Amino acid sequence: MAHDTPGPSPHRLLSRIDSPADLKGLPLPDLHALAEEIRSFVIDGVCHSGGHLGPSLGVVELTIALEYVYDFTRDRLVWDVGHQCYPHKILTGRRDRFSTLRQFGGVSGFPKREESLYDHFGTGHAGTSVSAALGMAVARDASGDDYSVLAVLGDGAASAGMIFEALNHAGDVGTGLTVVLNDNAWSISKSVGGMAEYLNRLITTPAYNKLRSELWRITGLLPSDSKTRARKMAHLFQESVKNLLVPGTMFEELGFRYIGPVNGHSLATLIRTFKYVRSLPGPVLVHVVTQKGKGYAPAESDGQKLHGVGPFDREKGPPPDSGGMTFTKVFGATLVELARHDSRIVAITAAMPSGTGLDLFGQEYPSRFFDVGIAEQHAVTLAAGMATGGLRPVVAIYSTFMQRAYDQVVHDVCLQNLPVVLAMDRGGLVGEDGPTHHGVFDLSYLRPIPNLVIVAPSDEAELQRALVFALEHDGPVALRYPRGKGPGIALAKHPRPLELGQARMLRRGGDVAFIGVGPIVYDTLEAAGILSDRGIQACVLDCRFVKPLDEAAVISAAAGVKLIVTVEDNALSGGFGGAIAELFMNRPGHAPIVRIGVPDSFVPHGALPILRERLGMIPQRMASTVEDALAAR
């Protein structure tokens, strides 16, 4: 009986790479082949689990070159944002676990110190890498050591203000530090702003690039014993005329030695460059030009759609939008319609027009739309300035990234009681992106701020009404809503505004009072149904407003019940449940209070149903919590 002969392994080289040390002896042709195997492996893995595809495909050669030249058991490497790190994870001992990417208990989608000795700094928000790397370099100097420290910027992180602060300080300190600027012209959307334009001028200066190429070609014709010295002299000459030919020398004025632009997909050039850079003293910036999504046609042609994706078919590509109105789409569409009748409305985002639903607004009203890049602090204070001039600014930023603008929210918006709408998408748990992206602290960090109204609508129609209210309110409003779809409540053609601080009763019952905010109140309705089948009658109060609380409605709902249960998709410390507990603190005779929410710990990455079940946020667990609490009385 004949047997088919198995074909060659699609990952012949990669299957032998258990650590970066296994790269060291590979000849250049094998490194090229390895790069293609890694790309294929990344695509297969992301097809299975979802993840950040485009950013990781763009840095395959860069990652190989860094791991080839440096020894990151000793040297230090910080990935900015971190979603470029899939090739790094694959080459540093996590290849066999890569199929668990972003799954509960599996490999994180971001660098994570406790996951590997090769992950030297945990990242998930843009702009932190140079500060962290400089701190490592200072610690190295203090200990008298001599290892190399590198930071890899990418996906628009260079627009973050913290990067400029760190570059300014690093140039002043003057210690050995290498900043690798992975210039792919994208964050999640196309990079915007002066830095993007500056980098584009650097890579499109014909005279400078021609000079570099010719000097390298000519010196390459010399005998080997003269080539090295000639190329060093050529480099010095090249540096001396750079100021004449390159439009701006910002990095060098900051104290960095600028090298580039370098082809980020040429392994030979990258390896040669980093071997040279490794020997240089002081701070160095290596400008590497890459293509986001390199090697996978759909990702090359649509850098935004393939930036981060769910599981998909490799051959067919990501499926088309399944339709249905997510909270983000409801927000975006409603804002467009409201702006049609109010020319004062302007919209601001921090490098996430599509992620926040403001791409619709930008298409409809381009002169009233402002994408400021990865600069949340600037976005909030920009809105404050606009508000002083009579505009009605809406700043749409993910909850987790609004943390970065906390001082601006307090000092520039709320202290001056300005009518700015803070639209916080991704409020609550977000799933596979994990602890750096869960928006579970916003209610806690916003609730203490005077003048700020906090609204957490529970469904699509309530979000419409909340946005109308927020734009009519003469003061700051934080509007918080989750990722994904709501319960499917029909939208209103002409939504009426919510009334300030007014709750609504969704279900009546005299044994237990469920008091909540946000879409999780629909889970409490299911929990109340489960309890009803077991002979326990529960009311459900949707507070809508975290601040100000509808105190009369809360007190009325809690009157005579055996148990008060607060429910929120937020940290219990300082959150909505804390506000309810504070209300009853000086009211004797109330029922015991049980709070359901996020405990005082960081929530790991994983599918939302798994996380919510573990945290007791699903109807069955809520019902069990109530029964246990009643039995313990």
Catalytic residues: 292, 376, 404
**Bridge partners of residue 422, in order along the sequence:** 395, 478
Residue 454, H or E segment: strand 453-455
Spatial CA neighbour of 422 closest among 321, 508, 349 = 349
| 376 phi, psi to nearest 5 deg | -65, -40
Single-letter amino acid code for the residue at 53: L
Tokens of 516: 């909540």
The answer to whether the beta carbons of residues 469 and 455 sit under 8 Å apart is yes
Task: Give the Cα separation of 83 and 359 in Å (integer).
Answer: 23
Contacts of 576 (CB under 8 A, 6+ apart): 443, 447, 456, 516, 517, 543, 546, 566, 568, 570, 597
Contacts of 619 (CB under 8 A, 6+ apart): 523, 524, 526, 527, 529, 530
The answer to whether the beta carbons of residues 525 and 506 sit under 8 Å apart is yes
| 157 phi, psi to nearest 5 deg | -65, -25
Burial of 221 (0-12, 13-18, 19+ CB in 10 A): exposed
- Residues found in the chain: 633
The answer to whether the beta carbons of residues 265 and 39 sit under 8 Å apart is no
Burial of 364 (0-12, 13-18, 19+ CB in 10 A): middle
Spatial CA neighbour of 251 closest among 128, 153, 185 = 153
Tokens of 626: 């109530």
Q: How far from chain centre, in Å, is Cα 11?
A: 31
Task: Give the Cα separation of 633 and 623 in Å (integer).
Answer: 16
